[in-house]
Amino acid sequence: MPVGTQGTVKGLTGRDLVEDLRVRILLANTYHLFLRPGHDLVRQMGGLHGFMNWPNAILTDSGGYQVFSLSGLRKITDEGVVFQSHLDGDRHTFTPESTIDVQLALGSDILMVLDECPEYPVSHEVARESMERTVRWARQAFEHYRRRIAESPTRHALFPIVQGSMFPDLRRRCAESLLELNAEGYAIGGLSVGEPRPLSLEMVEASEDILPRDRPRYAMGVGMPAELPEYVARGVDMMDCVLPTRNARNGCLFTSSGRIIIKHARYRDDSRPLDQYCQCYTCGKYSRAYLRHLFLSGEILYAMLATRHNIQRYLDIMREIRQAILSDSYPEYLKTVRSASADAG
Amino acid sequence: MPVGTQGTVKGLTGRDLVEDLRVRILLANTYHLFLRPGHDLVRQMGGLHGFMNWPNAILTDSGGYQVFSLSGLRKITDEGVVFQSHLDGDRHTFTPESTIDVQLALGSDILMVLDECPEYPVSHEVARESMERTVRWARQAFEHYRRRIAESPTRHALFPIVQGSMFPDLRRRCAESLLELNAEGYAIGGLSVGEPRPLSLEMVEASEDILPRDRPRYAMGVGMPAELPEYVARGVDMMDCVLPTRNARNGCLFTSSGRIIIKHARYRDDSRPLDQYCQCYTCGKYSRAYLRHLFLSGEILYAMLATRHNIQRYLDIMREIRQAILSDSYPEYLKTVRSASADAG
């Protein structure tokens, strides 16, 4: 899922996303939209689908992660979290119930429960307390959600989130506790918080055999191109990440033969497309030399073209993965991408 | 002509310009492209048409105006102008001949002669000397251009530029002197340098009956939407301006019923398009409320959508103008737009 934090995937129009890239779901950040323009305004404008004129699915996070990573002063209690806006310092509160209300106002298709995402590293004791709070909040969120949904003619889904820091036993206990909610899908949170990559994969593995196989599993906030097949190999069905879009803007482009750092002098007079195998608009129309010029000149068009390409690359990887699974050749596929990734260094 | 200073109209792809907006000619700035990425690289990449993948016409200025307005230390002699790059302080020289060579390397379709654009106000004496230098430079440029073009299989055009500051007698003398060049078109420069608007129009009028009626006349660097019909009424066929693109990015949008300053609170929950009569992608898909949100959030998509709309508005005005001329109703058209403009305040 491409990330559309503030109700837009940075640098792309709806047409780019739907017609060119065939994006079927994107993620929007509840924290950002709650602060600006405000969920009530978004609801009034037809929900996020109407406001940003988006015809496909939208998944929203609960806002919890952004409260922990972006806002200033924050205080966690059993009731929820009090925090200061990173925009104007205003004080707000998120509770398990209120974040459901905000996400329903946004008209999200897939909602997330409020969770606590501990920093890395923390002690087992702190991780356990935090995980238990996350489970309690998930129960409250589901209770509130089911009441609200009973009145609603629209179809939504709510996913609880497996936490437990980097402790496999806590991850397993968390997953087991969340099963009782009989959710339509399960998210795995608290990854990519500074831990070494093998540890992230181990944490996904920890709950893999507990989470129901017939429901989507969503690894939140991952990952690099070479990691996507690894997560899928560990039972993950959905991922979101700012990497394709943010790295694009910073000059890092992903291709089928590795990364391109576009500012490098070697691309100065390189008339080839970023990736000769890529079907995106950028690769069909523009050279590395032109993209380098746009990047060095700080041109908006650079961000537009680079983002388009990186999203295409990520979606191509996911299409390859689906194809390999459907043709029953995933182990071979994984072997190939692992050795290609090792070659690329 | 939309302005594509650094080889891109800020915030628009080639597809946006050609397929959506039907732009048939754009302006690129010789000064900027000479400094970065350099005209030799652009030539090597297939000229500006190849480099930016642009299928339609390109007009380039001579770089003179940017030397006067952007660069640091500069020294004008009869030979040309020595100046320092605004990017790195490097010293360069533009001569009437060298700017032709640079523009031919860029593969421009319509080239401009190097001219001197005096600041406003200057004395009659200074304006006269400067104008006479511009005429001498134009002769040298044409001599050099005709030698270079004799070897070239490609078709180009070179326009001389009428100067003379705000003195009608100098404007007339300049235009008369340039006639001997038998150019395929004539530009009128030195406008929009801080003078009151009625004076700009008066300066265009001064040379109107001297410049040949069967050749395009190009008023450089103008103007506001309400001014376009005024310039055309004074015999102008071509204009370029950064206003539609720059103002778009700064939050000022032009509509058929006046300007919209998108940050204003009144647009907070305004679900209407910018302009209900506009056929652009932005007006077809997005509300004022959404555009305001994108603007306040500093989103790239805002610049993309706003630029698209403002360019459409300018081209719509030019289409209206052409239609009014073709249907022999220009005086009535002019009366209508003048009174609408007076109403809009």
pLDDT tens across A234-287, in order? 999 999 999 999 999 999 999 999 999 999 999 999 999 999 999 999 999 999
Lowest mean pLDDT among A63-77, A138-152, B157-171, B209-223: A63-77
Q: Give me the amino acid identity at A214.
A: D
Q: What is the pLDDT of residues B222-275, one digit of tens each?
A: 999 999 999 999 999 999 999 999 999 999 999 999 999 999 999 999 999 999
ipTM of this complex prediction, to 2 decimal places: 0.97
Give the ranges where chain B is alpha helix by DSSP (H): 14-15, 30-35, 39-44, 47-51, 64-69, 96-106, 124-150, 168-179, 197-208, 228-233, 243-250, 281-285, 288-296, 300-326, 330-343
What CA–CA distance (Å, rounded) separates A165 from B46? Answer: 55
Give the rounded percent of residues in chain A with a pLDDT score beyond 70.
Answer: 99
With an 8 Å Cβ cutoff, are A290 and B13 in contact? no
Does the pLDDT value for residue A65 go beyond 60?
Answer: yes
Q: What is the pLDDT of residues A123-137, one digit of tens each?
A: 999 999 999 999 999
| C-alpha distance from residue B266 to each of A6, B269, B295, B299 (Å) | 21, 7, 14, 20
Task: Name the A residues in 212-271 with CB < 8 Å from any B CB.
Answer: 268-269, 271
8 Å CB contact between B191 and B203: yes
Does the pLDDT value for residue B183 go beyond 80?
Answer: yes
Which position among B16, B20, B109, B240 bears the catalytic label? B240
Q: Report the SS3 class of residue A219.
A: strand
What CA–CA distance (Å, rounded) separates B193 from B188? Answer: 13
Q: What are phi and psi of B190, to 5 degrees?
A: 75, 20
A240 is catalytic: yes
**pLDDT for position A210:** 98
8 Å CB contact between B211 and B162: yes
Tell me the average pLDDT across A200-225. 97
Does the pLDDT value for residue A85 go beyond 70?
Answer: yes
Using the Cβ of A272 and the Cβ atoms of chain B, whether some distance falls under 8 Å is answered with: no
- Candidates B110, B55, B120, B100; CA nearest to B240 is B110
Task: Note if the pTM is more than 0.95.
Answer: yes
Instruction: Tell me which residue in B7, B41, B304 faces A269 most closely, judged by beta carbons.
Output: B41
With an 8 Å Cβ cutoff, are A52 and B304 in contact? no
What CA–CA distance (Å, rounded) separates A14 from A322? Answer: 25
Q: What share of chain A is helix, strand, coil (3-state, %, to 5)?
A: 50, 15, 40
How many angstroms away from the CA of A272 is the closest CA of chain B? 10
Using the Cβ of A41 and the Cβ atoms of chain B, whether some distance falls under 8 Å is answered with: yes
Give the rounded percent of residues in chain A with a pLDDT score beyond 90.
Answer: 93
With CA atoms as reference, the chain A residue closest to B6 would be: A297
DSSP string, A113-147: -------SS--HHHHHHHHHHHHHHHHHHHHHHHH
B20 is catalytic: no
With an 8 Å Cβ cutoff, are B10 and A52 in contact? no
CA torsion, ordered A318, A324, A325, A327, to nearest 10 deg: 140
Chain A CB contacts of B37 below 8 Å:
268, 289, 292-293, 296
How many angstroms away from the CA of A288 is the closest CA of chain B? 10
DSSP string, B133-171: HHHHHHHHHHHHHHHHHHT-SS--EEE-EE--TT-HHHH
| C-alpha distance from residue B305 to each of A38, A275, B14, B290 (Å) | 22, 28, 14, 11
How many angstroms away from the CA of A271 is the closest CA of chain B? 7
Residue B90 binned pLDDT confidence (cut-offs 50, 70, 90): very high
**pLDDT for position B71:** 72
Using the Cβ of B19 and the Cβ atoms of chain A, whether some distance falls under 8 Å is answered with: no
Instruction: Tell me which residue in B14, B36, B305 faces A285 most closely, judged by beta carbons.
Output: B14
Does the pLDDT value for residue A321 go beyond 90?
Answer: yes
Instruction: Tell me which residue in A8, A269, A301 faces B301 most closely, judged by beta carbons.
Output: A8
Sheet harboring A91-94: ordered strands across? A74-76, A81-84, A91-94
Q: Give me the amino acid identity at B165.
A: S
Q: Give me the amino acid identity at A193.
A: V
Lowest mean pLDDT among A71-80, A284-293, A332-341: A71-80
- Residue found under tokens 């993950």: A236
Its sign, for the CA torsion B333, B201, B237, B228, is negative
Tokens describing residue A87: 């925009």
Mean pLDDT of chain A, nearest integer: 96
Which position among A61, A109, A115, A275 bears the catalytic label? A61
Its sign, for the CA torsion A40, A45, A51, A55, is positive
Q: What does the DSSP 8-state code read for residue A261?
A: E
**pLDDT for position B345:** 53
Lowest mean pLDDT among A101-110, B74-83, B290-299: B74-83
What CA–CA distance (Å, rounded) separates B239 from B216? Answer: 10
**pLDDT for position A315:** 98
Tokens describing residue A6: 């503030």
What CA–CA distance (Å, rounded) separates B200 from A50? Answer: 46
Does the pLDDT value for residue A98 go beyond 80?
Answer: yes
Using the Cβ of A334 and the Cβ atoms of chain B, whether some distance falls under 8 Å is answered with: no
Lowest mean pLDDT among A235-239, B78-82, B105-109, B303-307: B78-82
Sheet harboring B217-219: ordered strands across? B161-162, B186-188, B217-219, B238-239
